[in-house]
Structure 1
Amino acid sequence: MRQFSFGGLTLVGYYGYNNLGDDLLLLSSLSLIDEIGFEGPIYLPASSQIEQITHRFPSKLDIRLVSRFSIGEITNSIRHSIVTIFGGGNLLQDQTSWRSFLYYYEIARHTLNRGKPLLLLSQGFGPLNRQINRKALNKLLNNPLTFGVMRDLVSYKYFASFSKRVISGTDYGPYYLQKMGIIPEKRTTESGLAVIVLKNGTSVDDVLNSLRLNNLTEVCAVGFHNHHDEEKRSELESKARSNGFKVRKPPEDLEGMIRIFNNAELIITERLHGAILAISLGVPFVWKKNTKLDRFVRSLNKDCELSFEGSCESLSLAINSSLKEPVNLKDEYWSQLEKTATESKEVLIKLIYRR
């Protein structure tokens, strides 16, 4: 395959913050780039904590870390790249903060202003609360150099209302796990074990009462986002012990984390990748109702109703339904993931090698 001068890639995401979901998206993005035989430099804006997972990077790739908040380094990376890739996540949203949207929007805008393609891989849009940000997103999607493989149907349809340069797909975070043989071949359920992924929107007391009502007696509280989830995890463990639950410490390594998810009788999650791991492993799960999770799950099965609102009753009913009548989304997810990986590589080849 013919490479071009200034033939690098700039790979952008929320990388280097010990967020399991974003780490998987990064590793899967790099796996796809590696599989197409790309030989140029890959410029990776990231926090310094990215060093904790660099040992998992494909050895053949020339990955060059860039300071995440250095405007000069990022613009120089884009100048020396063929394409800028947004590698997984809902990066173009302002629910976290308007600064988050502005950061990614300015990288996208600078890429397009230099006449370089922008590729949105495994992306979703929103929530966008500010009208000015919605208009900015629309401008990006209207640009003939913007391409996408979206991870939920709502985001796909929104992009498709502006452009034909978009493909419907799914979140490819677990692709790396499959490629490296980390996904277990079969389920090994431990009766009574609940894996719980909380942020800050669900009462710990409601969780424990709901578990007791459904005969779940052991908890493993998992924090996906470094210190952000730590306070909630500690609160859950403390109250679980004082209420007679067995408490299992979460594994510190990726392989151990996947094993504990695979062993769970149930997963309760407020984070998207908690649900995605449950689905990919075929583990019964429930999720705290929010836009991002609702869109993703219903892209696999529009009739799936296993979300809960902010009450013990709602959570308990969702758990009961999930355990008694589990919804199997595993086969549909892996089918969509295989298609997403193939189509993502095809778009990458088209943009990098100008085929």
Structure 2
Amino acid sequence: MSNIVIAGYYGFSNAGDEAILCALIEELKKLGGNLNITVLSARPDKTASEYGVNSVKRSSLVQVFRAMRQSRIFISGGGSLLQDVTSWRSLYYYLFLMTLAKKLGLITVLYANGVGPINSPINRYITKAVLEQHDFLSVRDEESKSFLRKLGILKKAIDITADPAFTLKPAAPEQGAEILKTEGINPEDGSPIIGICIRPWKGENKDYRHVLAKAADFISREFKARILFLPLHEGEDRQESLEIMRLMETDSLLLKGSYNPKELMSVIGYLELLIGVRLHSLIFAAAVGTPFAGISYDPKIDSFLKSFNMGPIGRLEGPDLNDLLIKLDDVWRNRDNMRRKIKEKARKMAERVNEHNRQLFKLLNIMPS
């Protein structure tokens, strides 16, 4: 039996990170019953119940140490784990786990990560030193590979894949329709639904809220659409959505329930357009073929949009209302053409992840016999 420990930002009710975990576990379970998976989580009981795996408290060194001692492979799950913009503490936490796993003799894997920005010279040095000891490095975009090369990781192979969430299948359309009806929206009444997925901005300037509220009013009136705010991080995104909704002149709705990534993907499948700040809102839209427009707050958004031959329609730190409205109008007029291109590109992204997984699992010697 191969024991595997998976680490990431899990158990925090962030649909994007949970989508990564769900996709990875599903792929591992396809290999058969000879794998024993343990996930480090903020809410181990919930994680164990949802995914049918073992789970331990990520903040308990004793539990983490014990899980690693009983394992052969350590996987640093996808997402933006290695960056110091959010906090140095988070970066050091993941680097510590990687170092501990290596000291205990585990095979160490950086799996489909988005790496950077890492601005501090000491943080860049430490990250380079830790990753150079890894057995397998893979990133989700060309920019992350380029960043690692700039750190000085020159002799190790770095595979490029796509975000694991591209392999997720949405819940049945009937589930998405039922969720919308439960939330007070009839998807069959004829008027289009436009989704907005926002996240908090830590900068001092909060003018973006007024700009986004005016933009939402514009698309509600001009496109004769119903506006639905979709929180991907249940606590902070919901509060931020409410702040913008209060500034709007037109009516809008907020998805209030707690839904897993597959359910959210099913809901997004009913949208005519998704406007997203959260990366995984854009990934979910792409995966189900829903036209989308991204507002950037981080290089990972620019990188993702670039992979679809798009650019951001605005930036969270200082969006220009007139420019935003012009670009939204253009997206709206071209959404049918976008839909076809998005579906094809998302299919290729999923194929890339599947091929990456095959190669990785073969290297780790956990392919079915």
Q: TM-score, normalised on structure 2?
A: 0.82
One-letter amino acid of the structure 2 residue matched with residue 137 of structure 1: T
Distance (whole Å) between structure 2 residues aligned to residue 169 and residue 275 of structure 1: 17
Distance (whole Å) between structure 1 residues aligned to residue 48 and residue 20 of structure 2: 14
Q: What's 1:200 paired with?
A: 200
Q: Are residues 192 and 239 of structure 1, via their aligned partners in 2, closer, same or farther at CA, if it must alter by over 3 Å? A: farther
Matched, 1:8 2:3: yes
Distance (whole Å) between structure 1 residues aligned to residue 299 and residue 349 of structure 2: 21
2:231 maps to which of 212, 218, 223: 223
Q: What's 2:244 paired with?
A: 236
Q: CA deviation at 1:74?
A: 1.1
Q: What's 2:154 paired with?
A: 162
Q: What's 1:57 paired with?
A: 51
Distance (whole Å) between structure 1 residues aligned to residue 32 and residue 359 of structure 2: 12
Deviations along 1:99-158, one digit per CA (max 9) or x if unpaired, are: 000000000111222332211122110111211111112123322x43123111111334
* Secondary structure of residue in 1 paired with 2:118: coil
Q: Are residues 158 and 128 of structure 1, via their aligned partners in 2, closer, same or farther at CA, if it must alter by over 3 Å? A: closer
Kindly, what percent of the aligned residue pairs are identical? Answer: 21
Matched, 1:88 2:68: no
* Secondary structure of residue in 1 paired with 2:195: strand
Q: Does 196-205 or 133-142 show the bigger shift?
A: 196-205
- Map 1:308-327 onto structure 2 (within 5 A): 308-309=314-315, 310-326=319-335, 327=338
Q: Are residues 182 and 106 of structure 1, via their aligned partners in 2, closer, same or farther at CA, if it must alter by over 3 Å? A: farther
Q: What's 1:77 paired with?
A: 67
Q: Are residues 136 and 307 of structure 1, via their aligned partners in 2, closer, same or farther at CA, if it must alter by over 3 Å? A: farther
Q: CA deviation at 1:37?
A: 2.1
Q: CA deviation at 1:248?
A: 5.1
Q: What's 1:292 paired with?
A: 300
Gaps of at least 5 residues in structure 1 are none
Q: Do the aligned partners of 2:15 and 2:233 also contact (CA within 8 Å) in 1?
A: yes
1:331 maps to which of 344, 347, 352: 344
Q: CA deviation at 1:256?
A: 4.4
Q: CA deviation at 1:250?
A: 4.6
Q: Do the aligned partners of 1:83 and 1:352 also contact (CA within 8 Å) in 2?
A: no
Q: CA deviation at 1:169?
A: 0.8
Q: What's 2:357 paired with?
A: 344
Q: Do the aligned partners of 1:19 and 1:225 also contact (CA within 8 Å) in 2?
A: yes
Distance (whole Å) between structure 2 residues aligned to residue 122 and residue 140 of structure 1: 17
Q: CA deviation at 1:297?
A: 2.4
Distance (whole Å) between structure 2 residues aligned to residue 332 and residue 230 of structure 1: 30
Matched, 1:41 2:36: yes
One-letter amino acid of the structure 2 residue matched with residue 224 of structure 1: L
Q: Do the aligned partners of 1:198 and 1:229 also contact (CA within 8 Å) in 2?
A: yes
* Secondary structure of residue in 2 paired with 1:235: helix
Distance (whole Å) between structure 2 residues aligned to residue 343 and residue 183 of structure 1: 32
Q: Does 225-234 or 190-199 show the bigger shift?
A: 190-199
Q: Are residues 111 and 246 of structure 1, via their aligned partners in 2, closer, same or farther at CA, if it must alter by over 3 Å? A: closer
Q: TM-score, normalised on structure 1?
A: 0.85
Deviations along 1:5-41, one digit per CA (max 9) or x if unpaired, are: xx41111010101110011111111111111225242
Q: Does 79-88 or 145-154 show the bigger shift?
A: 145-154
1:171 maps to which of 160, 163, 184: 163
Matched, 1:107 2:97: yes
Gaps of at least 5 residues in structure 2 are 176-186, 202-206
* Secondary structure of residue in 1 paired with 2:162: coil
Distance (whole Å) between structure 1 residues aligned to residue 218 and residue 19 of structure 2: 34
Deviations along 1:298-328, one digit per CA (max 9) or x if unpaired, are: 2x23x41243122222321221222123443
Distance (whole Å) between structure 1 residues aligned to residue 174 and residue 19 of structure 2: 13
Q: CA deviation at 1:93?
A: 1.1
Distance (whole Å) between structure 2 residues aligned to residue 149 and residue 340 of structure 1: 11
Q: What's 2:27 paired with?
A: 32
Matched, 1:261 2:255: no
Q: Does 202-211 or 131-140 show the bigger shift?
A: 202-211
Distance (whole Å) between structure 2 residues aligned to residue 97 and residue 260 of structure 1: 32
Q: Do the aligned partners of 2:29 and 2:35 also contact (CA within 8 Å) in 1?
A: no
RMSD across aligned positions (CA): 2.7
Q: Do the aligned partners of 2:132 and 2:156 also contact (CA within 8 Å) in 1?
A: no
Q: What's 1:122 paired with?
A: 112
Provide the aligned length of Structure 1 versus Structure 2: 337
Distance (whole Å) between structure 1 residues aligned to residue 33 and residue 119 of structure 2: 38
Q: What's 1:152 paired with?
A: 141
Distance (whole Å) between structure 1 residues aligned to residue 18 and residue 27 of structure 2: 14
Q: CA deviation at 1:247?
A: 2.5
* Secondary structure of residue in 2 paired with 1:229: helix
Matched, 1:209 2:203: no
Distance (whole Å) between structure 2 residues aligned to residue 174 and residue 53 of structure 1: 21
1:271 maps to which of 263, 275, 278: 278
Deviations along 1:185-212, one digit per CA (max 9) or x if unpaired, are: xxx8964422111112373332232234
Q: Do the aligned partners of 1:169 and 1:339 also contact (CA within 8 Å) in 2?
A: yes
Q: CA deviation at 1:159?
A: 4.1
Q: Does 103-112 or 333-342 show the bigger shift?
A: 333-342
